[in-house]
Chain A
Amino acid sequence: MRGYIFRFLILFVSVLLQSVLLDKLLPGWGKPDIVLILTLYFGFKGGVMTGQTTGFLGGLLEDLPSGKQFGVNILIKTLIGFGAGNLHKKIFTENFSTIFSLVFIGTLVKEAMYLIGNQILPDTFTLYKKSGLLDFLLDIVLVETLVNAFLAPFIFKLLNKLNLSLEKEI
Chain B
Amino acid sequence: MFNLFFYKNKNIIVFFILMTLSIASIAFRSMRAKDLLSEVYNFVTLPFAELLTGTTNTISSLWNNLLYYNERLEKMKLLEKELEKKQASFENVELLQQEINRLKKMIDYKAVIPKLVPSSVESIAADIVMRSPNNYFPTFIINKGRHHGIKKSMPVIAFQLLRREGHPETLEQVVVGKIDQVTELAARILPITDPDCIIHVKLKSPLYSEYTGFIKGFGSYSQGLSLTNVDKSIDLVGEETLINEELVTSGEQSIFPRGIKVGFIKEDLSDESSNEKRFRVTPHVEYSRLSSVFVLKKELPKQLMKLIESMR
> Could you tell me which A residues sit within 8 Å of B by CB distance?
12, 15-16, 18-21, 23-24, 27-31, 33, 35, 47-49, 52-53, 56, 59-75, 78-79, 82, 85, 114, 121, 123-129, 131-132, 135-136, 140, 144
B281 within 8 Å of A (CB atoms): no
Residues of chain B contacted by A70 (CB below 8 angstroms): 25-26, 29, 34
Closest to B288 in A: A27
- Whether the Cβ atoms of B56 and A24 lie closer than 8 Å is yes
- Whether the Cβ atoms of A126 and B195 lie closer than 8 Å is yes
For the complex, what is the distance from the CA of A77 to the CA of B305, rounded to whole Å? 35
- Whether the Cβ atoms of B135 and A23 lie closer than 8 Å is no
Which segment of B115-123, B136-144, B237-245 sits at the interface? Answer: B136-144
- Whether the Cβ atoms of B18 and A52 lie closer than 8 Å is yes
For the complex, what is the distance from the CA of A66 to the CA of B42, rounded to whole Å? 12
- Whether the Cβ atoms of A65 and B190 lie closer than 8 Å is no
When A49-B11, A49-B14, A132-B222 are in contact, do A31 and B134 touch as well, CB less than 8 Å?
A: yes
Of B18, B130, B135, which contacts A53 at CB under 8 A? B18
- Whether the Cβ atoms of A67 and B136 lie closer than 8 Å is no
* Nearest CB of A to B9, in Å: 11
**14 further interface pairs, Cβ-Cβ under 8 Å (given A19-B131, A61-B133, A132-B218):** A18-B133, A20-B49, A27-B289, A29-B135, A61-B41, A65-B42, A67-B180, A71-B22, A72-B26, A78-B18, A79-B19, A123-B195, A127-B219, A129-B222
Q: What are the nearest 7 A-B pairs in CB distance?
A: A71-B25, A71-B26, A27-B288, A18-B133, A75-B22, A132-B222, A48-B11
* Nearest CB of B to A80, in Å: 12
What are 18 A-B pairs at a CB distance below 8 A?
A16-B52, A19-B133, A20-B131, A24-B56, A48-B15, A49-B14, A64-B37, A67-B190, A70-B29, A71-B22, A72-B26, A74-B22, A75-B19, A78-B19, A126-B194, A127-B221, A132-B219, A135-B221
Residues of chain A contacted by B137 (CB below 8 angstroms): 66-67, 69, 126
Residues of chain B contacted by A82 (CB below 8 angstroms): 15
Residues of chain B contacted by A79 (CB below 8 angstroms): 19
When A19-B132, A67-B188, A67-B190 are in contact, do A74 and B56 touch as well, CB less than 8 Å?
A: no
Main secondary structure of the interface of A (DSSP, over half): helix
* Nearest CB of A to B73, in Å: 26
Closest to B191 in A: A67
Residues of chain A contacted by B10 (CB below 8 angstroms): 49
Chain B, interface size category, equals 35 or more
Of A15, A33, A67, A127, which contacts B139 at CB under 8 A? A67
- Whether the Cβ atoms of A74 and B288 lie closer than 8 Å is no
Closest to B41 in A: A64
B6 within 8 Å of A (CB atoms): no
Residues of B1-32 at the interface with A, using a CB-CB cut-off of 8 Å, are 10-11, 14-15, 18-19, 21-27, 29
User: Which residue among A28, A126, A135 has the maximum number of chain B CB atoms within 10 Å of its CB?
Assistant: A126
User: Which residue among B49, B218, B219 has the maximum number of chain A CB atoms within 10 Å of its CB?
Assistant: B219
* Nearest CB of A to B32, in Å: 13
- Whether the Cβ atoms of B22 and A78 lie closer than 8 Å is yes
